Amino acid sequence: MLNVVVLVSGGGTNLQAIIDAVESGVITNAKIAGVISNNKNAYALERAQKHGIRGLCISPKEYASREEFNEKFLEEVEKMNPDLIVLAGFLVVIPPAMIERYRNRIINIHPSLIPSFCGTGFYGLKVHEAALARGVKVVGATVHFVDEGTDTGPIILQKAVEVQQGDTPEVLQRRVMEQAEWKILPQAINLIANGKVTVENGKVNIAE
């Protein structure tokens, strides 16, 4: 049974998609061991509570230095004994020591088809604003492993979503969530939980 820890900063719609997939059996062989947020008002923590999942807030603002926060953060993550860490809209930079400790065991969902509209500064609505400003016809989402770069780790799954006439960033964001993010994030967790994902030479292989 894969122990999954979800890190989230806001409303937690991707967390909800994972919870629903575990409860409905779309994700097998995995359970959510805990949810950690850097924001005590994150609705994601309420979602966790409603489903009997341990929730915890740990914020960089409460520590004198980033080093002190990083140390405490890693300590709290380790207490939850994760086999897989899922970044579901987590807006805190993951400490290098944590990436090293959980190499190829941290995944992130990004609301674009990497390598488009990714990297430093591309998060949340900014991704969709940039895509519309560029006039692209197809957007989407990517689930990837986390490495030391920003959105540069090995890609696990991607799903494309069409841009429609008259889309606003908010409308496009919602469509990408519904048609891509909420589908491929649970799918990736299920593949990992069932031993189907391996990484070789920086590339992901998925077994049939």
pLDDT in tens, 20-75: 999 999 999 999 999 999 999 999 999 999 999 999 999 999 999 999 999 999 99
Q: What would the pLDDT profile of 172-199 be if each residue is shown by its tens digit?
A: 999 999 999 999 999 999 999 999 999 9
Superfamily of structural domain 2-206:
Formyl transferase, N-terminal domain (3.40.50.170)
Query: Count H helices, E strands: the chain?
Result: 7, 9
What whole-number distance in Å separates Cα of residue 109 and Cα of residue 94? 14
| Whether pLDDT at 5 is above 90 | yes
Among all residues, which ones are annotated catalytic? 110
Strands 138-145 and 106-110: antiparallel
The percentage of the chain sitting over the pLDDT mark of 90, rounded to a whole number, equals 97
The pTM (predicted TM-score) of the whole model is: 0.95
